[in-house]
Amino acid sequence: MRKRAWIVFLDESGVSLLPEVCRTYASRGRTPALRHRLNWKRASMAAALGCHAADPDRGLRLCFHLKPGSYDTTSLIEVLEQIKTFYAGESVVLVWDGLSAHWSRGMRAWLAEQDWLTLERLPAYAPDLNPVEPLWSAIKTRELANLAGDHLADVADAAERGIHRVCSSEQLPWSFLTHTGLTIHPQTPQN
């Protein structure tokens, strides 16, 4: 691994025009009702949360991608190209799960040509080790909670507001990493 490596966790999630139903408060006798069109149009989001392996003072970086439909190998390669630009010239250790598009023949061929990228796979059935999972939870329980949009653009705008909220906080992205229990910057032992 090169001297200036970023450890980047990547994950995808889906949203649709069906609302993320969350508990809410209302006046007694006035049960809130969500009215929506039962539309199954979907969008997919990908986020990459990275921290510098050697220098925690460089902070966390969050890269976000949103597209209609679902991710496949081609669209994930576009996301990785965006990450490559985002980390301009620095090496990246990418940690992601076992989604089939992550390990497809086309993806492996593209990855073989990338000298800036090293891959690590999360263990199966271990979403609690990925700090992007709490990010999705934070957005879906706040900005996307009970949102009954008419168009995918409504859902996309709400998701982007959530990303901006997370990025504007200094502590929130670090809390996602802390939630995993992983130690990226171990303490040096005292003599």
The string of pLDDT tens digits covering residues 36-82 is 565 567 888 999 999 888 887 888 899 999 999 889 999 999 999 99
Q: For the whole model, what pTM was predicted?
A: 0.82
* Distant-in-sequence contacts of 56-64, Cβ < 8 A, 24+ apart: 56/184, 56/185, 60/173, 60/174, 60/177, 61/6, 61/86, 61/87, 62/135, 62/163, 62/166, 62/167, 62/173, 64/160, 64/163
**Low-confidence residues of the chain: pLDDT under 70:** 1-4, 17-26, 31-40, 146, 185-191
Please say whether the beta carbons of 90 and 116 come within 8 A: yes
Predicted local confidence at residue 1, as pLDDT: 42
